[in-house]
Amino acid sequence: MSNLTMMTEEEKLEQFVQRIEAGDKIEADDWMPEEYRMALIKLISMHGISEIMGALPEKEWVPKAPSLHRKLGIMAKVQDEMGHGQLLLRVAEDLLKPYGKNRGDLMQDLFNGDLKFHNVFHMDTRTWGDAGLIGWLVDGAAIITQTNMLGASYGPYARALQRICAEEVFHAQHGEAIIMALAEGTEEQRAMVQDALNRWWDALLMFFGPASKDTTGSSKQDVTIKYKIRTKTNEQLRQAFFDKYVPRILSLGLKLPDPTMHYDEENKVWVYQQPDWAEFKKIIKNQGPRSQERLNLRRTSYENNAWVRDALAATVS
């Protein structure tokens, strides 16, 4: 009954589904259906590379941060993001083993445009208000999606998220501190935050992805929910984000960029204007405002540091 080598593929799949249903954690060396492995690779490599690409717009603010304290804070955060990228790439690499691929291949996929990164990291950052807003609301949105997967059926991903989310708490408060200082500052500083919110609003809505695959032609949410990698749909996550953050945005005296937005008490949902999903498709195809600059930055640093990898490789017997 339990002899795995004697089992047919159908029996293995059946046992796999039973394990997931029972809340068991799947580990890297366990048998898993191809569909599950592929869904995880896509999700986790995109997540990992996005952490690294996300450090780029933030690092632009290290030299421009208004005080030494702020410089240290944002530098610590940039380092965390790279660390998160490391963790996630490790998880992705173990899944890629049967295909003989590693992070070098993922990096090439990124450069070729085969591996996407999160829409928000294709955008321009113009002021210190943007830096604060990213820390507060982009990280806030990321916390909503990441905590949704803390109970993921894939053990290594769940454990990585556990570490990541613990650090995200610091990130969230770091962003709040910047926004709070500006919101309690001069008229000009308050206007800076409002301007950042106005420009980032659509990107924040897009962050959770379209409500269904009808919008953009494909969506991974069904398969990730089926395999208990996540529990909530894109729209449920977006609504959870509104629940947590809209009251906070308003409490600071900021205005929602969407004047039609309101809470429908009867249906218990936020009613809001959809962002331009055609624009979203363009952005994630690396045709966003800063897509090419950021890819080039990553490409250049990867090429410039090749000699370090080569030099260290020589000491490996």
Q: Which is nearer to other proteins, 60 or 80 (CB)?
A: 80
Which of 9, 29, 188, 265 touches other proteins by CB under 8 A?
29
- Applying CB under 8 A, does 310 fall inside the site for other proteins? yes
Tell the smallest beta-carbon distance from residue 29 to other proteins (Å): 7
Q: Which is nearer to other proteins, 94 or 293 (CB)?
A: 94
- Would you call 180 exposed, middle or buried from its count of C-beta atoms within 10 A (0-12, 13-18, 19+)? middle
SS3 194: helix
- Applying CB under 8 A, does 90 fall inside the site for other proteins? yes
Segment lying near other proteins (by CB under 8 A), choices 141-149, 192-200, 215-223, 308-316 = 308-316
Torsion angle defined by CA atoms of residues 173, 84, 281 and 43, in that order, rounded to the nearest 10 degrees:
-120
Tell the smallest beta-carbon distance from residue 20 to other proteins (Å): 15
Contact 110, 92 (CB under 8 A): no
- Applying CB under 8 A, does 218 fall inside the site for other proteins? no
- Applying CB under 8 A, does 104 fall inside the site for other proteins? yes
Query: Which residue, 191, 194, 207, 61, is CA-closest to 122?
Result: 207
For residue 102, what are the CA distances in angstroms to 7, 95, 98, 314? 30, 9, 10, 19
- Applying CB under 8 A, does 3 fall inside the site for other proteins? yes
SS3 11: helix
- Count the site residues for other proteins by CB under 8 A: 29
- Applying CB under 8 A, does 159 fall inside the site for other proteins? yes
Q: Which is nearer to other proteins, 7 or 246 (CB)?
A: 7
- Applying CB under 8 A, does 87 fall inside the site for other proteins? yes
Cα radius of gyration (the chain) = 21
User: What residues have CB less than 8 Å from 298, skipping those under 6 apart?
Assistant: 52, 53, 56, 107, 110, 111
Q: Which is nearer to other proteins, 76 or 278 (CB)?
A: 76
Residues in contact with other proteins by the rule CB under 8 A = 2-5, 29-31, 76, 79-80, 83, 86-87, 90, 93-94, 102-104, 159-160, 163, 167, 309-310, 312-313, 315-316
